[in-house]
Amino acid sequence: MSTVIVSQDELLRYNSLIPSLKNRVAALSSEHGHPMTYRVKTYGCQLNESDSEKIEGILQSIGLIEASEEAIPDFLILNTCTIRENADIRLFGNLGAYKTHKKQNRDMFIAVCGCMMKQQENIERIKKSFPFVDACFGPSDIHLLPQILDRKLGQRKRVFSVSEEDYLVDDTDVPVLRKRKFRALVPIMYGCNNFCTYCVVPYTRGRERSRSSEKILAQLRELAAEGYKEVMLLGQNVNSYGSDKEDEISFAALLEETAKIPGFSRIRFMTSHPKDISEEVIYTMKKYKNIERHLHLPMQSGSSDVLKRMNRHYDQEQYLKTALLFREVLPEATLTTDIIVGFPGETEEDFQQTLNVVEKVRFDSAFTFQYSRRPGTKAADYPDQIPQDVVTERFGRLLDLQNRLTFESNESVVGKTEEILIEGRSATAPDVLTGRTNSNRLVNFRIPEGISYQGKRIDTSAPDFNADDYEGKLAMVRITRAKPYSVEGELESFIDE
Ligand code: 5AD
Ligand code: SF4
């Protein structure tokens, strides 16, 4: 694999296919007697979500409109994830169902993309067992989508276009459809060089390639001017931003420059690697109030032995040093993590070390995973794979501990009034809104009687009340109750009327 920078000229060539694709889509719409629709189904991480926003941007540019939830779309794209085995199983489980859809609509276009497509055996399986799939492409091939569609719609042949190369296309040249009107996902780098021994990402997303800070900052200024309140700087390992380039600024400097842009009230970043995060990043967070009071710092294991075999390049002591420094510098912030249970060779003593560190750091929440053996990774061939019953038992103990800590963390903010960025209606009830605190805590809250917005009283029982109208607004919310994974509250006032 090698990094290939796609020039603007080359990209223009792909994008020049858009007008003729638009004509084809228009012809299909009149043939079928309705506008052609699409759906993009996204599995996995935020980088996949960001990729899907680009896919949707391209699909809309050729005249497709998003299918309603219950309708069968004319164009279906499945953006896959392969981080753990159950992600693979889910895709193949779901794929069969689309066969009947294709039978009903011969013109339906079905494509599978994303990380699973970088594994040859998955491509072979689709070639053989899922003949109704029209196209496959990889996670760094999104800019090729106009060409893929052109080949499929023109020649009616299946297109398998998964590149060996790690393409770097500047994001500002690709159409993007942002799914949330307040949040902009902005990748700052692609790929990963770390080769943690359990992880497939370096094989699926290739080597690290950083975008130019000049272009990132120009894009961010535009997004702020367009009114986005929240920006999420994305990369598999944001702390090593720029290290693949000669004269690039550090991640801490990029974060600081982002914080200086007027307009954003929430600057978030994902994901940090404990071996690369600098103290400067923590002090930059302290300096700028518009940087989220939250750090996600995947620990994976608390045992130095296991960390070594995971190829993480830090030990328990180093992890604790960073975590405790963060707690000291930003006591009001939340600290979250990822933990894998049952890595090959993990002893009861190793696992106890994990529990000890979790107790010491008191993570505000954690994503906990059972180790999943991924073909092609080093750890897949390690001896001493842990029996499932042992993994399940340890996983249960970790979950009990973390659930207690998460609940206690949620309890610690009850009675406080916090600034919330509203995300829209909650899943629980139509008159309950949902949002996040500046420390990324999920808050479900009601608007009590007597609250006004833009001079008008809000009546949540009125038929025209729609919680989604408040998406992207900032409000002060008093936290009234802790729940296991969220908190409840009551709105006190809006900030930015
Ligand atoms: N098994 C279990 N969890 C994994 N992760 C990555 N690879 C695996 C695997 N093979 C977890 C890590 C990572 C998160 C995104 O997914 O904890 O931080
Ligand atoms: Fe995977 Fe490790 Fe890279 Fe994260 S840092 S994507 S866990 S290889």
Residues having CB closer than 6 A to ligand 2 are 192, 194-196, 199, 201-202, 236-237, 273
Please, which pLDDT band fits residue 429 given cuts at 50, 70 and 90?
confident
Q: Which pLDDT score is estimated for 2?
A: 74
pLDDT at position 172 over 80: no
pLDDT at position 13 over 90: no
Distance 271 CA to ligand 2 centre (A): 9
Q: Which pLDDT score is estimated for 497?
A: 62
pLDDT at position 346 over 70: yes
Nearest CA, atom 2, ligand 1: 371
Distance 195 CA to ligand 2 centre (A): 6
Determine the atom of ligand 1 nearest the C-alpha atom of 198: 10
Determine the atom of ligand 1 nearest the C-alpha atom of 200: 7
- The H or E element that residue 65 is part of is strand 65-66
CB 479 within 8 A of CB 487: yes
Ligand 1 pocket: which of 198, 236, 388 to mutate (most atoms within 8 A of CB): 198
Locus of tokens 């893929």: 148
Closest ligand to Cα 338: 1
Q: Cα separation of 197 and 96, whole Å? A: 32
CB distance 115 to ligand 1 below 6 Å? no
Nearest CA, atom 4, ligand 2: 236
Q: What is the mean pLDDT of residues 256-268?
A: 97
Distance 208 CA to ligand 2 centre (A): 11
CB distance 268 to ligand 1 below 6 Å? no
Determine the atom of ligand 1 nearest the C-alpha atom of 370: 2
Nearest CA, atom 6, ligand 1: 199
pLDDT at position 391 over 90: yes
| Positive/negative CA dihedral, 409, 414, 416, 421 | positive
Distance 194 CA to ligand 2 centre (A): 6
CB 73 within 8 A of CB 38: yes
| Positive/negative CA dihedral, 307, 312, 317, 320 | negative
CB distance 338 to ligand 1 below 6 Å? yes
Determine the atom of ligand 1 nearest the C-alpha atom of 377: 10
Distance 148 CA to ligand 2 centre (A): 30
Distance 480 CA to ligand 2 centre (A): 38
> pTM here?
0.94
Closest ligand to Cα 297: 1
CA dihedral 58, 64, 66, 72 (to 10 degrees): -120
**Which domains does the chain show, CATH number per domain?**
3-168 (3.40.50.12160), 178-411 (3.80.30.20), 417-494 (2.40.50)
CB distance 374 to ligand 1 below 6 Å? yes
Closest ligand to Cα 385: 1
Q: Cα separation of 477 and 494, whole Å? A: 9
Q: Cα separation of 354 and 359, whole Å? A: 9
Residue from 391, 310, 317, 380 nearest 347 by CA: 391
CB distance 199 to ligand 1 below 6 Å? yes
SS3 labels along 211-258: CCHHHHHHHHHHHHHCCCCEEEEECCCHHHCCCCCCCCCCHHHHHHHH
In angstroms, what CA-CA distances link 192 with 166, 249, 272? 11, 18, 12
Determine the atom of ligand 2 nearest the C-alpha atom of 312: 2
pLDDT at position 96 over 60: yes
Closest ligand to Cα 311: 2
Q: Token digits for 72? A: 């069968």
pLDDT at position 485 over 90: yes
CB distance 473 to ligand 1 below 6 Å? no
CB distance 409 to ligand 1 below 6 Å? no
Q: What is the mean pLDDT of residues 248-274?
A: 97
Distance 234 CA to ligand 2 centre (A): 13
Locus of tokens 């159950």: 86
CB 93 within 8 A of CB 60: no
Q: Which pLDDT score is estimated for 226?
A: 95
Q: Which pLDDT score is estimated for 173?
A: 76
> 97, exposed or middle or buried, with CB in 10 Å at 0-12, 13-18, 19+?
exposed
Please, which pLDDT band fits residue 55 given cuts at 50, 70 and 90?
very high
Locus of tokens 């975590």: 323
Please, which pLDDT band fits residue 132 given cuts at 50, 70 and 90?
very high
pLDDT tens for residues 239-257? Answer: 999 999 999 999 999 999 9
Q: Cα separation of 77 and 214, whole Å? A: 32
CB distance 340 to ligand 1 below 6 Å? yes
Please, which pLDDT band fits residue 94 given cuts at 50, 70 and 90?
confident
